Amino acid sequence: MEAFQQHTGVALPLQRDNIDTDAIIPSREMRSVSKSGLAAGLFAPWRYLQADERIPNPDFPLNQSRYEGASILIAGNNFGCGSSREHAVWALMEAGFRVIIAPAFATIFFNNALRNGLLPVTLGPDDCTALLSFGADDPQQCQVTVDLQACSVTAGDRVYAFEIAADARRMLLEGLDEIGLTELDGDRVAAFEQADRRRRPWVYLDQGESS
């Protein structure tokens, strides 16, 4: 996984609540058993007037030159609700996003983001609105800095603090492989199973045979 320490970039506004994973990456844009080839399908229903022909919708911020190179997305409440598809995270990352800022995230999306090095930052709705107005006139000049070490978002002279679970933060900062980390607890898992087989023998299908 890609480590995340600090990032500065252009912030793109997408102020809608309940942006679902079908909108982030529609099912039909997930064409192969692969994590890549998804960037062009990002927000396809809104970004294109004709998704098949890829005719851009000029009103959609992702298509506007003022937001060129945007890598921070500022979204509405409950971002990433809907399907569990991790493709939503992969598509955002492939399109260059490193941070999503929203008042709240859907849990599965949040977890998927953490595990891929895409930083989900939870900030209150008022802070999100303030961040947006900071960049509104000239997003290219008014870039935003997100610092995971300090757990802060900086926009000009305003600094906003955010919270994130300690072990999730460490995982991101160090770019740790979570499976490798858990494998270090292999003995505990085996001990848990040994005790659990006595408590809940009916769970274990391998010993199989009923009596």
Partner 1 sequence: MPETLFDKLWREHEVRRLSDSRSLIYVDRIFLHERTGSVALASLEQGGRRVRQRAHTFCTMDHIVDTLPGRGDDTLMPGGRDFIVTTRSSARAAGIQLFDINDRDQGIVHVISPELGIALPGTTLVCPDSHTCTLGGLGALAWGVGSTEAAHALATSTLRVQRPQNHRVTFQGQLSPGTTAKDMILFTIRELSAAGGAGHALEFSGEAIRELSVEGRLTLCNMATELSAFTALIAPDDKVIRYLEGRPFAPRGSLWQSATAHWQTLVSDPDARFDAETRLSVAGLKPQLSWGTSPEHSMDWDDSVPDPEQAPTGATRDAWRRAQDYMDLRPGSRLGDYPLDAAFMGSCTNSRLSDLRLAADFLAQSGQRVAPGVKALCVPGSGGVKRAAEAEGLHHVFTEAGFEWREPGCSLCFYAGGEGFGPGSRVVSTTNRNFEGRQGPGVRTHLASPLSVVASACAGHLVAAEAV
168 binding partner 1? (CB under 8 A) = yes
Query: From the list 5, 63, 83, 145, which residue makes contact with partner 1 (rule: CB under 8 A)?
Result: 83
Stretches 5-13, 66-74, 139-147, 174-182: which one binds partner 1 (CB under 8 A)?
174-182
Q: Cα–Cα distances in Å, from 84 out to 15, 29, 36?
A: 22, 15, 17
**Distance (Å, whole) CA 7 – CA 52:** 34
Within 74-185, residue ranges assigned H as helices are 87-94, 107-114, 125-135, 166-174, 178-183
Q: Which stretch binds partner 1 (CB under 8 A): 55-63, 93-101, 153-161, 180-188?
A: 180-188
Q: x/- contact string, 47-66, with partner 1 (CB under 8 A)?
A: ----x---------------
187 contributes a contact to partner 1 by CB under 8 A: no
Q: Report which residue type is found at 70.
A: A
Count CB-CB contacts under 10 A for residue 132: 18
Choice between 58 and 165, CB closer to partner 1: 165
Verify binding: residue 157, partner 1, rule CB under 8 A. no
